[in-house]
Amino acid sequence: MSAPVLLVIAHGSRDPRHAQTVHALVRRVRSLRPDVRVETGFLDFNVPSVQGVLESLETEGVRDVVALPLLLTRAFHAKADIPAVLADAPPRLRIRQAEVLGPSPLLRSALERRLYEAGLTPADKSSTGVVLASAGSTDPEAIAVIAEIAREWRHTGWCAVRPAFASASLPRTEDAVRELRELGCARVAVAPYVLAPGFLPDRIARGAAEADVLADVLGPSPEVARVVLDRYDEARMPALAAVGA
């Protein structure tokens, strides 16, 4: 039995850096699991569209697909947009929607990787306050997840960790930076909890103007690629169990 096709579903953006980063991540995923066919579809702005990829797969004779939302939290896109697109897929396709990427300890490791690449060292942790800066959401579940990640991350040795949001929710990145200064952290770092560059990540970067360190987006880090494959494997497990029953 051949492995299901992994369809990575990205949001899409007018910013060309977004698609470039998504494709770089998908290349890393393919390099880790050459036995799995990985395709990419976008919800908006970029091609190929999710619907277009699904129709092409059906024409080729593919039957099993795992659709993976390239998202860090379960908010509107994961709960509404993506299920709606998948509901319109060719009927001969058997599609399982994987869970979103976060939360995951691997993503926290990716955040730290980016901070160290930006100039921090493990020895700096106890004197450094970190702003965990996400895109933001009107979904209370997504906001609660970001706050919980910040609380858990604080217990790994940082001076303090504060969540911040580029839209829809408060505080903004610049406000969290000032709060950490007032708290007495010797230095302040901003860790964007976003996957690819674009409008909201640029807003995070502007909000980090008074910080000492600004990390890069998570992008095609090896940890993110591993989470993608973990979610893929979790989604296909029920089918594998049924075959073995």
95-149 tens-digit pLDDT: 999 999 999 999 999 999 999 999 999 999 999 999 999 999 999 999 999 999 9
pLDDT in tens, 173-224: 999 999 999 999 999 999 999 999 999 999 999 999 999 999 999 999 999 9
Strand-strand pairing, 94-97 and 187-192: unpaired
- Average pLDDT on 36-40 reads 98
- Omega before residue 103 within 30° of 0, cis: yes
Backbone angles phi and psi of 64, in degrees to 5: -115, 130
Percent residues over pLDDT 90 in the chain: 93
Strand ranges (DSSP E) for the chain? 5-10, 38-42, 64-69, 94-97, 128-134, 160-165, 187-192, 213-214
How much of the chain is helix, strand and coil, in % rounded to 5?
50, 20, 35
Burial 148-179 (b: 16+ CB within 10 A, else e): ebbeebbeeebbbbbbbbbeebebbbbebbeb
Strand 64-69 and strand 128-134: the pairing is: unpaired
48 upstream amide cis, omega within 30 of 0: yes
Distance, in Å, from the CA atom of 124 to the CA atom of 177, rounded to the nearest integer, reads 17
pLDDT at 242: 45
Half-sphere exposure of 97 (CA within 13 A, CB side): 20
Please measure the distance between the N-terminal and C-terminal CA atoms of the chain and give it in whole angstroms.
15
As a residue count, the chain comes to 245
pLDDT of residue 1: 66
3-class SS at 16? helix
For residue 39, give Cα distances in angstroms to 67, 123, 172, 192, 197: 10, 40, 35, 26, 21
Q: What is the pTM of this model?
A: 0.95
Here the tokens at position 223 are 């940890």
